[in-house]
């Protein structure tokens, strides 16, 4: 038997089935029109943001990193909850524009921005978090050619990292950002060239569950920003402090203590250095905001035994849930939280392997999981599916097509 990850709070049984937004899993599948489907919950999104706002200093802006879940209705719902949006491509910009989001609320990070992407962002009035001197030069040239002063912030590659984070994105040689010691010279050039100076972006990592690690990274970010602002010799209109707030995916993971993070940040904000007193401060979060608000529902198509092992074979798989299959940046595969959604209040009574329908041994949704007895036709739920699910999985692989998506 292998443990399964912790089912996020707020998922209840109704008529014996998993229910989301007052609808049972079978009703949700009917609404979606098919399995597999992703179901995202507005109530979860609302509650998550409300709890975060209550914990954090009032002054702290909360941005949503669209790459975690770019489903149109999710973006539209987040528009009423968050202050800003962070994008990483012109494609994501187009999605925000379709959702009617004011580009003044948007900043654009990501290495390798093409000229067409820079041009679209500058024309729209999006803030560019420039990742290199070369990119800043190209943005300035496009601004000159098109007669629009680009809004430029500089993404800093800091000299520190977010400890214990799943993906390190700062410290040492990186394709992201401008090495901290070169930032002041570049900032002065950008300001002198007539760009609209928007400040700094310092992102140090992702998926951290340890409050002390986040507290330390945030302290380092504020110190680094203060030092750089003084060296630049101009105030920072804005400081994007990064994010990195994680969610529990695996057995033994504990939720991040946001009240501890918020308490320290409130103290820091009460005593900011002169360089930051007028600065618009924000964090940018992806999975923390949307990850636990999503569930992936897939139907059992076959139940079989092989050498004494029970396989529950579903119509879903890694083509929608690459991360849950263990193939998205993990070294050792562990089980995500899963359940038999159509028997959500039943007691576990057997050990089973839940697999997808793809013809590859990589397509596993749960290994040796202790589950209620399930049969053909039952629904399996994979939790923590609100972030890096549909959009971060190879939907074209093997021709099964994308999953349906639904916001309720
Ligand atoms: C991916 C990314 C995020 C979001 O990361 P999460 O772990 O989903 O919170 C935020 N900012 C930047 C710059 C990113 O690359």
CATH number at residue 322: 2.40.37.10
Token code pair at residue 126:
């999006």
Q: Are residues 238 and 356 in the same domain?
A: no
Phi then psi for residue 211, to 5 deg, are -60, -40
Q: Are residues 145 and 252 in the same domain?
A: yes
pLDDT band at 330 (very low <50, low <70, confident <90, very high): confident
Give the per-residue pLDDT at 72: 97
Give the per-residue pLDDT at 337: 98
Q: Are residues 301 and 176 in the same domain?
A: no
Residue 262 lies in a domain: yes
Residue 74 lies in a domain: yes
* 45: Cβ contacts below 8 Å, ≥ 6 apart: 74, 77, 78, 81, 289, 290, 293
Identify the residue whose tokens are 């900032």: 187
Instruction: Using DSSP, state whether 311 is helix, strand or coil.
Output: strand
pLDDT band at 167 (very low <50, low <70, confident <90, very high): low
Residue 244 lies in a domain: yes
- Closest-CA residue, ligand 1 atom 9, reads 286
Q: Are residues 317 and 403 in the same domain?
A: yes
Q: Are residues 355 and 380 in the same domain?
A: yes
Task: Work out the mean pLDDT of the chain and round it to a whole number.
Answer: 97
Residue 288 beta carbon below 6 angstroms from any ligand 1 atom: yes
Closest among 325, 307, 329, 309 to 366, alpha carbons compared: 325
Q: Are residues 268 and 310 in the same domain?
A: no
d(CA 243, CA 263): 16
Q: How far is CA 264 from CA 211, 219, 375, in A?
A: 10, 9, 50
Counting the structural domains of the chain, the total is: 2
CB 32 within 8 A of CB 274: no
Residue in 156, 165, 203, 248 to alter for ligand 1 test, most ligand atoms within 8 A of Cβ = 203
Residue 209 beta carbon below 6 angstroms from any ligand 1 atom: no
Residue in 284, 288, 290 to alter for ligand 1 test, most ligand atoms within 8 A of Cβ = 284
Residue 92 beta carbon below 6 angstroms from any ligand 1 atom: no
The answer on pLDDT for 165 being more than 90 is no
201-210 confidence digits (pLDDT tens): 999 999 999 9
Q: Among 285, 300, 334, which residue terminates a domain?
A: 285
Residue 64 lies in a domain: no
Q: How far is CA 192 from CA 40, 124, 195, 234, 280, in A?
A: 46, 22, 8, 11, 22
Give the per-residue pLDDT at 171: 65
Give the per-residue pLDDT at 166: 64
52-101 confidence digits (pLDDT tens): 999 999 999 999 999 999 999 999 999 999 999 999 999 999 999 999 99
The answer on pLDDT for 164 being more than 90 is no
Residue 60 lies in a domain: no
Q: Among 285, 315, 330, which residue terminates a domain?
A: 285
285-305 confidence digits (pLDDT tens): 999 999 999 999 999 999 999
The stretches of 125-169 forming alpha helices (DSSP H) are 133-146
d(CA 208, CA 287): 11
pLDDT band at 273 (very low <50, low <70, confident <90, very high): very high
Q: Are residues 241 and 333 in the same domain?
A: no
- Closest-CA residue, ligand 1 atom 7, reads 206
d(CA 400, CA 86): 31
Give the per-residue pLDDT at 243: 97
Region 116-128 average pLDDT: 98
The answer on pLDDT for 261 being more than 60 is yes
Give the per-residue pLDDT at 64: 98
Task: Say how many Å lie between the CA of residue 2 and the centre of ligand 1.
Answer: 30
Task: Say how many Å lie between the CA of residue 203 and the centre of ligand 1.
Answer: 8
Task: Say how many Å lie between the CA of residue 388 and the centre of ligand 1.
Answer: 11
Give the per-residue pLDDT at 170: 57
Structural domain range at position 21? 12-40+291-407
Q: Are residues 29 and 83 in the same domain?
A: no
Q: Are residues 251 and 297 in the same domain?
A: no
* CATH at 150: 3.20.20.10
Residue 203 lies in a domain: yes
Residue 396 lies in a domain: yes
Q: Which atom of ligand 1 is nearest to the CA of 289?
A: 9
- Taking each helix axis from N to C terminus, what angle separates 211-232 and 258-269, rounded to the nearest 10 degrees? 30
Residue 57 lies in a domain: no
Task: Say how many Å lie between the CA of residue 305 and the centre of ligand 1.
Answer: 41
The total of other beta-carbon atoms located within 10 Å of residue 30's CB is: 11
Residue 203 beta carbon below 6 angstroms from any ligand 1 atom: yes
Q: Are residues 299 and 272 in the same domain?
A: no
Residue in 158, 243, 291, 294 to alter for ligand 1 test, most ligand atoms within 8 A of Cβ = 243
The answer on pLDDT for 168 being more than 90 is no
d(CA 60, CA 171): 24
Q: Are residues 309 and 218 in the same domain?
A: no
211-242 confidence digits (pLDDT tens): 999 999 999 999 999 999 999 999 999 999 99
Q: Are residues 262 and 298 in the same domain?
A: no
Q: Among 269, 285, 301, which residue terminates a domain?
A: 285
7-16 confidence digits (pLDDT tens): 999 999 999 9
């Amino acid at each position: 038997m292998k443990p399964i990850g912790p089912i996020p709070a707020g998922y209840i049984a109704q008529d014996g089935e998993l229910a989301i937004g007052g609808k049972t899993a079978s009703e949700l599948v009917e609404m979606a029109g098919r399995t597999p489907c992703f179901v995202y919950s507005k109530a979860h999104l609302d509650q998550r943001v409300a709890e975060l706002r209550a914990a954090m200093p009032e002054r702290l802006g909360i941005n949503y990193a669209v790459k975690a879940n770019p489903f149109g209705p999710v973006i539209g719902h987040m528009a009423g909850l968050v202050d800003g949006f962070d994008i990483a491509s012109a494609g994501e910009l187009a999605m925000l524009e379709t959702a009617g989001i004011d580009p003044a609320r948007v900043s654009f990070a990501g290495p390798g921005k093409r000229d067409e992407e820079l041009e679209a962002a500058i024309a729209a009035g999006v803030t560019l978090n420039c990742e290199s001197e070369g990119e800043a030069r190209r943005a300035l040239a496009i601004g000159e050619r098109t007669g629009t002063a680009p809004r430029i912030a500089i993404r800093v590659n800091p000299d520190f990292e977010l400890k214990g984070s799943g993906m390190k994105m700062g410290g040492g040689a990186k394709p992201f950002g401008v090495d901290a010691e070169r930032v002041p010279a570049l900032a002065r050039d950008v300001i002198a060239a007539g760009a609209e100076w928007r400040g700094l972006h310092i992102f140090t990592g992702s998926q951290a569950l340890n409050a002390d690690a986040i507290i330390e990274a945030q302290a380092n970010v504020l110190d680094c920003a203060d030092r750089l602002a003084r060296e630049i010799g101009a105030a920072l209109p804005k400081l994007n402090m990064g994010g990195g707030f994680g969610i529990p995916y695996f057995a033994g993971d504990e939720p991040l203590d946001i009240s501890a993070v918020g308490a320290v940040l409130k103290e820091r904000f009460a005593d900011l250095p002169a360089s930051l007193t007028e600065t618009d401060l924000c964090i940018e979060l992806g999975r923390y905001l949307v990850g636990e608000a999503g569930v992936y529902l897939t139907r059992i198509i076959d139940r079989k035994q092989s050498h004494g092992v029970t396989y529950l074979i579903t119509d879903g798989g890694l083509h929608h849930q690459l991360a849950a299959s263990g193939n998205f940046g993990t070294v050792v595969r562990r089980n995500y939280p899963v359940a038999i959604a159509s028997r959500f209040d039943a007691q576990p009574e057997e050990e089973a392997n839940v697999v997808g329908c793809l013809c590859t041994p990589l397509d596993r949704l749960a290994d040796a999981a202790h589950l209620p007895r399930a049969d053909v036709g039952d629904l399996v739920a994979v939790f923590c599916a609100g972030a890096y699910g549909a959009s971060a999985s190879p939907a074209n692989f093997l021709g099964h097509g994308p999953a349906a998506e639904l916001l309720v």
